[in-house]
Amino acid sequence: MSALTRFFTKDQNKYTFLLGWLVLGLIQASCTQLMDDEAYYWVYSRHLDWGYFDHPPMIALLIKIGYSLFHNELGVRFCMVIINVLTLWITWELLPQKHNRLFYLILFAMGAMQIGGMLAVPDVPLIFFAALYFWVYRKFMEQQSWKNTLLLGLSMALLFYSKYHGILLVLFTVISNPNLLRVFKFYLACILTTLLFLPHIHWQYTHGFPSLQYHLVERNTPGYDISWTLDYILGQVLLFGPVAGWLLLYYAFICPIQSSFERTLKVTLIGVLVFFLFSTYKGRVEANWTVMVFTPTAILAHQAIIRRRGSWKLLQYLGIATLVVVLVARVYLVWDFAPGVEIRPEIHHNKEWAAALQEKAGDRPVVFLNSYQLPSKYMFYSKDGVAYSVNSRYSRRSQYNFWDTETQLWGKPVMIAFQSPWEQLPVTDSIHTAKGTWEYYIQPQYYSYSLLRLIPAMTKVKARPGEHMAFILKVRNGYDRPLPVDTMHEAVLGYAFVNKREGLPAVKSNVSVFKALERHIIRMEVVMPEKPGTYHLKFCVMAGVLPPTHNSDAIKVEVKQ
């Protein structure tokens, strides 16, 4: 009998199930076009680094490995499919009492694990390394050997390199088991994690900690909207199962605890869900931010039913209904059988869209406005096309604000493509594509200065309507070379206010970009809005026909009578 035969006959049902899951994932990954964020992370992998604007580098590394094997959608997702299956295997190994069919039924009820498990997004490695962390943590609690200490430190580092949210698992692990603070080797594991994470911390330091700025400041929204909380609660129910999510969470919550490890699973599950529930007070919380507790949810729900605290029958009915929903979703991911219904339209017609734009652009790079997804999609689906994103004062920054792609475009002809009405942009012509009509402008010489940073001395001010107020700005050249001069248009500094989601017209100053760079520190006079309210003030660069670009952090301005 061969080794492969012995492998499957040892536990035939389980390994056949995992093999089927793997094959189905590979087929789905091959036949489904990239979602917007997947294309963005693919561009990450072309600029491999220790960090990125909004994420650690794990997703870029995994895509890099897979894409080196297959130069298509499968390559982008290959490692995701593999670690998704490994996540199921680790979760199975963590079950105190094992029941194959019940475990399969729980996984069938989790639609996101079936479909989302093949997507090239940071959530997939986060789920995997969370499962790995729990596996190693249990071994560490059973035996605090040097081997398990090293593995614990490594697993925590891999968790943090996947997504910053992973730190919550470690925090709630300590809360569930305070005795860890008395264990010397736990501190050694934390020291090892810190040492392994130092390259990313150094990257953050050298780039001005952009991830902290983005997640803790730029994502926050003034005021509170109850829809954020309601959307979060509904999103969690749908995330853990489009039909049976509420039931799985209920079973996980009522599961009787029989070990310190199960207590850790329950505390981390409840802790993560409650933490992000309270986070809705600060702004919108994405439903997928809690995916790291999939393994605790599956284990606790499984044990609740084993211990006769849950019903098989109801879960079976809901599991079957989920499979029907997932089947329809799988077909839709591959085939746009409802073209009039726009459900995630980003996964369809990308090749035709990119080809239509490239036909007009020719060899020119294509510049998009306020979108990190569109240039990423264009570069993936065009034939060696180059694209870039310019972020205006109204938008948030992205990784395109850190790459040097912009310098490759200076002085060259480009095609600026846009779909939303931009009144200040001239129009050369329009293109009818599978994704609607796009207007474009052929700019003979392109210049923008998105990496020029204008750093205000204040973060918040109070003012009267129409008041003239002076701001001190530090001017920093974010490029590794002197800025070229646009001979056709003078680039000047300016400012603009945003009130909630509405922007006031930008105001030009008489300070040129190059004079500001010579002085390093400048004084700019700003006229406050006439209407009382809370505003965000951003300083910007106005270059040529482009909208004022995102060059500074926002200053909170309260205008009162």
The token duo for 27 is 């087929």
State the greatest distance between any 2 C-alpha atoms of the chain, in Å, as a whole number: 87
Q: What is the pLDDT of residues 23-43, one digit of tens each?
A: 999 999 999 999 999 999 999
Residue with token string 């790459």: 403
* pLDDT for residue 117 is more than 50: yes
Q: How far is CA 477 from CA 420, 473, 483, 521, 540, in A?
A: 31, 13, 8, 12, 14
- Looking at residue 310, its pLDDT comes to 73
Residue recorded with tokens 């492969």: 4
Identify the CATH number of the domain defined by range 452-559: 2.60.40.1930
| 66, 124 contact by CB (below 8 A) | no
pLDDT at 8: 42
As a whole number of angstroms, the distance between CA 379 and CA 372 comes to 11
Q: What is the DSSP string of 414-460?
A: EEEEE-S--TTS---EEEEETTEEEEEEEESSB---TTEEEEES-SE
- Contact (Cβ atoms closer than 8 angstroms) between residue 363 and residue 442: no
Q: State mean pLDDT over 51-77.
A: 96
Condensed to tens digits (0 to 9), the pLDDT of residues 205-226 reads 988 888 777 666 665 555 677 8
Average pLDDT over residues 172-195: 96
Distances (CA, A) of 319 to 108, 122, 386: 6, 27, 45
Residues 532, 462 contacting (CB under 8 angstroms): no
Name the strand (E) or helix (H) holding 228. helix 226-239
Give the span between the Cα atoms of 146 and 164, in whole angstroms.
26
- DSSP assignment of 165-211: GGHHHHHHHHHH-GGGGG-HHHHHHHHHHHHHHHHHHHHHHHTT-HH
Question: CA-CA distance, 455 to 476, in Å (whole number)?
Answer: 8
Q: How far is CA 67 from CA 26, 43, 70, 267, in A?
A: 14, 11, 5, 38
For the segment 39-62, the average pLDDT, to the nearest whole number, is 95
Q: What pLDDT is stored for residue 4 in this prediction?
A: 45
The pLDDT of 337-363, averaged and rounded, is: 87
How confident is residue 305, by pLDDT bands cut at 50, 70 and 90? Answer: very high
* Average of per-residue pLDDT across 313-340: 89
Predicted pLDDT at 218:
60
Query: How many alpha carbons fall within 13 Å on the CB side of residue 178?
Result: 0
Beta pairing, strands 533-542 & 492-499: antiparallel
Give the pairing type, strands 387-390 and 414-418.
unpaired
Enter the pTM of the model. 0.91
Residue 12 has pLDDT above 80, yes or no: no
Name the pLDDT band for 282 (thresholds 50, 70, 90): confident
Over residues 130-141, mean pLDDT: 97
Residues 6 or more apart in contact with residue 458 via CB below 8 angstroms:
471, 555
